[in-house]
Amino acid sequence: MNRLRIGIIGAGGIARERHIPVLLELKHEAEVTAVCDINIETAKQAGVSFPQPLITSDYNEVFEHVDAVIICTPNKFHADISIAALQAGVHVFCEKPMAMSAQEAEAMIDASVQSEKELMIAYHYRSMKESQAAKRLIDQQEIGTPMVARVQALRRRKVPGWGVFTNKELQGGGALIDFGCHFLDLSLWLLGSPNPVEVTGNTYNKLSKMPGQVNQWGLVDNESFDVDDHVTAYIRFDNGATMLFETSWAANVKDDKEYVSISGDTGGVDLFPLELNQAKHGMLLDSFTNWVPGEEDPGQFQMQNFFDACRGEAELIVSPVQAMQVQKIVDAIYESSETGRSVRL
């Protein structure tokens, strides 16, 4: 099997901490032949893990040396770089969120269709073995028809005080775009990927704008802080399903919480941990998992899927159209919060 030639564009923390270790594990599948970053020293540091890759600060130089790219830049540049890569005949694996707007996401999809190259967005929560198991349970009608999703992605006073996470110009938003979007994607997928039709949302950042706030993840400049640190939303879908959604970097809660619950008409599935709750045989039954098969590292599972799709051997776990639905909801939550009205899609 010929190994895929991979280029890394954006060699910061997410590339070094998540994707490069996975690429080293999958070196029999792919080889990194180019590393790009606007800071050439950062590119060089990331490149030492691989044998003589091209090191550059110009992403356009990467395309001649690769079959696919992994884009780990700030969100502002996702669309432009993805479209350029696709137009150059290169497959794209892009970090989440997909883009800064649904319009940009749609342009990315158009470029993928026209080039006939793969476009995958790194919503890795779908690739967790517990998530894959929950999807199997739902698809096998263990809970009947999914109707209601309850979603919480909460951190207690953990605003990321490093990098560009709180830079609205580069990122487009805060907790919703950085953290909550994973859980929007996961819950939409578990619901069966229905189309959103109405969104009501509120965003908050009062806590992070207070001077002298307690934060576990580094200092935060309260005077310049202009992204969301807490978000709530209510979402209706075209099939009658609904979602209650909440995410935060800075919640005043006892513990961090990652929770997805899908209620159907005969039972329900909860994550995390994975539980199956059913009404059967005149009883209420609760099932707790003792063992779930699958990869411990969801990053390796999703990257393998991307490689297989590039070779024409598999369909993407996360289709770009599904990722665009997440983007539409994100846009609508921000619009609803700004206008004080629900947004029809």
Asked whether the domain spanning 126-298+326-344 has the same topology as the one spanning 4-122, the reply is no
10 Å CB burial of residue 183 (0-12, 13-18, 19+) is buried
| Terminal-residue alpha carbon distance, the chain | 45
Q: Using CA atoms, how far apart are residues 311 and 177, in angstroms rounded to an integer? A: 30
| pLDDT tens-digit series, residues 97-129 | 999 999 999 999 999 999 999 999 999 999 999
For the chain, what is the mean pLDDT?
97
> Could you tell me where the DSSP H helices lie in the chain?
13-14, 20-25, 40-47, 78-87, 102-115, 129-139, 168-171, 175, 181-191, 206-209, 298-310, 320-339
Counting Cα atoms < 13 Å in the Cβ hemisphere of 299 gives 17
| pLDDT tens-digit series, residues 181-195 | 999 999 999 999 999
pLDDT above 80: residue 151: yes
Query: Average pLDDT of 270-281?
Result: 95
Q: Using CA atoms, how far apart are residues 28 and 181, in angstroms rounded to an integer? A: 32
pLDDT above 60: residue 311: yes
pLDDT above 90: residue 286: yes
The CATH label, of 3.30.360.10, 3.40.630.10, 3.40.50.1980, 3.40.50.970, for the domain at 126-298+326-344 is: 3.30.360.10
Residue 283 β-bridge partners: 280
Q: Using CA atoms, how far apart are residues 5 and 161, in angstroms rounded to an integer? A: 34
CB-based contacts of 150: which residues, under 8 Å, 6+ apart? 243, 244, 259, 260, 261, 263
Instruction: Return the SS3 of 148.
Output: strand
1 pLDDT band, cuts 50/70/90, is: low
What CATH architecture is 4-122? Answer: 3-Layer(aba) Sandwich (3.40)
Q: Using CA atoms, how far apart are residues 316 and 309, in angstroms rounded to an integer? A: 6
Region of 193 (left: φ > 0; alpha: ψ -120 to 50; beta: rest) is: left
246 pLDDT band, cuts 50/70/90, is: very high
10 Å CB burial of residue 97 (0-12, 13-18, 19+) is buried
pLDDT given for residue 2 in this prediction = 84
| Per-domain residue ranges of the chain | 4-122, 126-298+326-344
Residues above pLDDT 90, as percent of the chain: 98
Q: Using CA atoms, how far apart are residues 67 and 58, in angstroms rounded to an integer? A: 17
